[in-house]
Amino acid sequence: MNMKIRNIAIIAHVDHGKTTLVDQLLKMSGTFRENEEAASMDSNAIEQERGITILAKTTAINYKGYRINILDTPGHADFGGEVERIMNMVDGVLLVVDAYEGTMPQTRFVLKKALEAGVTPIVVVNKIDKPTARPLEVVDEVLDLFIELGADLDQLEFPVVYASALAGTSSLDPDPAKQEPTMDPILDAIIEHIPEPDVNIEGGFQFQPALLDYNDFVGRIGIGRVKRGIAKVNEVVSCVRLDGSVKQFRIQKMFGYLGLKRIEITEAKAGDIVAIAGLPDIEVGETICTVGKEEALPLLRIDEPTLQMTFGVNTSPFCGRDGKLLTARKIEERLMKETERDVSLKVAPNDSESFIVSGRGELHLSILIENMRREGYELQVSKPEVIKKEIDGVLCEPYEDVQIDVPEEYVGSVIEALGNREGIMENMHHHGEQVRLAYTVPSRGLIGFTTEFMTMTKGYGMLNHTYKEYRKMAGSGVGERKLGVMVSMENGKATAYALGQLEDRGIMFIEPGDEVYEGMIVGEHTHDNDLAVNVVKGKKLTNTRASGSDHTVVLKRPRKMSLEVCLEYINSDELVEVTPNHFRLRKKILNTDERKKADAKKAK
């Protein structure tokens, strides 16, 4: 049966140009109007600000009589579970590789998932117009990676297209001068090399959701590929649940994709990528079938969370000043709503005022916190902790593959820092002035490392990491901050006079006029112990004046802390207070005397 459908996923390392490429394919195929904005696949505000893809997006274009369904996948390891499940929906992948950076840790990760699924690859060497581009060497690197990952002979015969997604040019020739202002070579390669869906239109309907969406009107929506048969809206179908039980429901709505729009459709055929609504608690990996022909498809693997943190009600004295959504009930409702859409997220009650939220990494959880903050929630969150497991009677923790690219002069400091975090060096390569280091490091050792790494390499270093496996627990001191903090012992407004007297004790996080409360962290101490300080103290006024003593206080700039930096920075006895307008660091025990007693007990 000749099906004019092609289902492909676009996979790549972070920032190698997947989303820009999809936008160009939409534009060039005439599916996308000139006045529609770029990076349109990244519709979420945070995705646009950070230039990253967080959730997999589905789109489709019509080209030369073919319908090409395209899935734009996330590049970060935290969202790797989606990449794996998407391979179940497609027959081929476009592997996008930067013409200068070449293969990176995430390239390996996403390609491994694609080769395991047995899909057909096409390699797109992107950013060919960079002055530093080295396309032929990069293709050799990609070939080496294919061989290393055990690709079969058919997969090794991959076609290569050279492109600049930003400029909207592509060509089959590695010479940048021969680029043409069209994306046709990529679209033609998809039609020629990617097989049509291996599905059967005869027989009972069979569909398995690999992704979820959520809608307030119809509840959960399952997105996946129709494996067999035809289904129509309002038809009654069976759902084979994960536990083997069967539940019947009516298909309320079905959606297909064209360009950037999700369009309502009345029927779905084998090979189509569609979204089905009607069962409000549908799960990834369940099978929807024709009634009486219930045959379950193999279950899809969902990556287990590796990191957890506590989300709780804000208990600081400033609670309720910024946000409108403050109660445990509101926070729980919001977290539960997130689990409807995000299968990698797990939420469990901790006590009446807090919840343990488990996810795939710091980025995964910090994006959830950022979204809640923007929606008007106030909450306090604890330090992220790795999820430990007992395997064959041995306590184990997650380890990650880390790849670092740094100028030669910073290599010594990086090796020392990773050594202190129980990192194991796997290999080291020199590329001219640059050095590439490969390490295996406990995930716990990477919490808080990014900021230190950026400072250490003055911003010239590049750090990439991806989950590897569970191994025996490393030493106990890994992942804790070495320096102590300055903690306010009074409530009130910080004064320039008080801050000026404390400057030589460390780095301040606040400036004059900022409101503080007892137990709030106001700066970093230069030593490893915590220091209780008074930042609201004013100068005693007398009528005696001495020459030179009244000159204006000139303060150093305070250190500004973003949400990720705050989460990395805190220790296990500290919290981050998150409100729509502020991030504040604080101690779990606010009262200075009580905190000293608790620290003394711990020291025993």
Query: Within 13 Å and on the Cβ side, how many CA atoms surround 95?
Result: 31
Q: State the pLDDT at residue 543.
A: 66
The dotted CATH code for 307-386 is 3.30.70.870
How many angstroms separate the Cα of 434 from the Cα of each of 98, 417, 437, 440, 544? 17, 18, 10, 20, 61
Calpha distance 541→563 (Å, rounded): 39
Q: What residue ranges of the chain are covered by domains with CATH 3.30.70.240? A: 389-472
Task: Compare 158 and 481 and report the one with higher pLDDT.
Answer: 158
Which of 305-319, 402-416, 457-471 is predicted least confidently?
Answer: 457-471
Q: Which of 113, 112, 115, 139 is nearest to 125 (CA)?
A: 139
Q: What residue ranges of the chain are covered by domains with CATH 2.40.50.250? A: 485-603
Q: State the pLDDT at residue 15.
A: 74
Q: State the pLDDT at residue 108.
A: 78
Which of 69-73, 78-82, 327-331 is predicted least confidently?
Answer: 78-82
CATH superfamily of 485-603: bipa protein (2.40.50.250)
Q: Which two tokens stand for residue 550?
A: 């009244």
| pLDDT digits 0-9 by tens, 186-212 | 999 999 999 888 778 888 888 988 888
How many angstroms separate the Cα of 15 from the Cα of each of 58, 104, 200? 19, 11, 37
Mean pLDDT for 102-126 is 83
Strand partners, 441: 400
Q: Residue 369: in which H helix or E strand, if any?
A: helix 362-374
Q: Which of 273, 83, 132, 293 is nearest to 202 (CA)?
A: 293
Query: pTM of the entire structure?
Result: 0.79
What is the DSSP secondary structure assignment for residue 189, as one 8-state letter? H
Fold classified for 206-290: Elongation Factor Tu (Ef-tu); domain 3 (2.40.30)
Tell how strand 253-258 and strand 261-265 pair up. antiparallel
- Residue located via tokens 């990529």: 186
Q: What residue ranges of the chain are covered by domains with CATH 3.40.50.300? A: 5-193
- Residue located via tokens 């909450």: 379
Q: Which of 84, 564, 86 is nearest to 361 (CA)?
A: 564
Helix axes 105-117, 135-148, angle to 10 degrees: 50
Q: What residue ranges of the chain are covered by domains with CATH 3.30.70.870? A: 307-386
Task: Compare 480 and 257 and report the one with higher pLDDT.
Answer: 257
Q: State the pLDDT at residue 143.
A: 92
Q: State the pLDDT at residue 2.
A: 47
Q: State the pLDDT at residue 47.
A: 54
Q: State the pLDDT at residue 1.
A: 41
State the DSSP string of 104-141: -HHHHHHHHHHHHHTPEEEEEEE-TTSTT--HHHHHHH
Q: State the pLDDT at residue 3.
A: 61
Q: State the pLDDT at residue 82.
A: 72
Q: Residue 598: in which H helix or E strand, if any?
A: helix 592-603
Mean pLDDT for 351-367 is 86
* CB burial string 192-225: b at 16+ within 10 A, e below: eebebbebeeeebbbbbbbbbbbeeeeebbbbbb
| pLDDT digits 0-9 by tens, 531-583 | 889 988 887 776 665 555 545 667 788 888 888 888 888 888 889 999 999 89
Would you say 399 and 443 are in contact if contact means Cβ atoms under 8 Å apart? yes
Instruction: Give phi and psi for 159, each to the nearest 5.
Output: -75, 150
Highest-pLDDT range among 33-47, 101-115, 270-284: 270-284
Per the rule left: phi > 0, alpha: psi between -120 and 50, beta: everything else, 548 is: left
What is the 3 state secondary structure string of 445-478?
HHCCHHHHHHHHCCCCCEEEEEEEEEEECCCCCC
Percent of the chain residues topping a pLDDT of 70: 91
Strand partners, 465: 402
| pLDDT digits 0-9 by tens, 207-255 | 988 888 877 777 888 888 888 888 888 888 888 888 888 888 898 888 8
> Where does the pLDDT of residue 329 fall: very low under 50, low under 70, confident under 90, or very high at 90 and above?
very high
Which of 26-30, 134-138, 306-310, 449-453 is predicted least confidently?
Answer: 26-30
Mean pLDDT for 253-274 is 84
Q: What residue ranges of the chain are covered by domains with CATH 2.40.30.10? A: 206-290
Q: State the pLDDT at residue 44.
A: 57
Would you say 298 and 242 are in contact if contact means Cβ atoms under 8 Å apart? no
| pLDDT digits 0-9 by tens, 18-58 | 778 888 888 876 665 555 544 354 455 665 555 555 555 67
Q: Would the pLDDT of 378 be above 50? A: yes
| pLDDT digits 0-9 by tens, 431-466 | 778 888 889 988 888 887 877 788 888 878 888 777
Task: Compare 346 and 55 and report the one with higher pLDDT.
Answer: 346
Query: Within 13 Å and on the Cβ side, how many CA atoms surround 290?
Result: 16
Fold classified for 389-472: Alpha-Beta Plaits (3.30.70)
Instruction: Give phi and psi for 191, each to the nearest 5.
Output: -65, -40
Q: State the pLDDT at residue 51.
A: 55
Fold classified for 5-193: Rossmann fold (3.40.50)
Q: State the pLDDT at residue 38.
A: 40
State the DSSP string of 420-432: HTT-EEEEEEEET
Mean pLDDT for 468-484 is 78
Q: State the pLDDT at residue 37.
A: 46
Query: Within 13 Å and on the Cβ side, how many CA atoms surround 584?
Result: 31
Which of 30-44, 59-73, 156-170, 459-473 is predicted least confidently?
Answer: 30-44
> Where does the pLDDT of residue 584 fall: very low under 50, low under 70, confident under 90, or very high at 90 and above?
very high
Q: State the pLDDT at residue 42.
A: 46
∠ CA(531), CA(534), CA(538), 5° rounding? 155
How many angstroms separate the Cα of 196 from the Cα of each of 64, 104, 189, 238? 15, 30, 13, 27
Calpha distance 455→444 (Å, rounded): 20
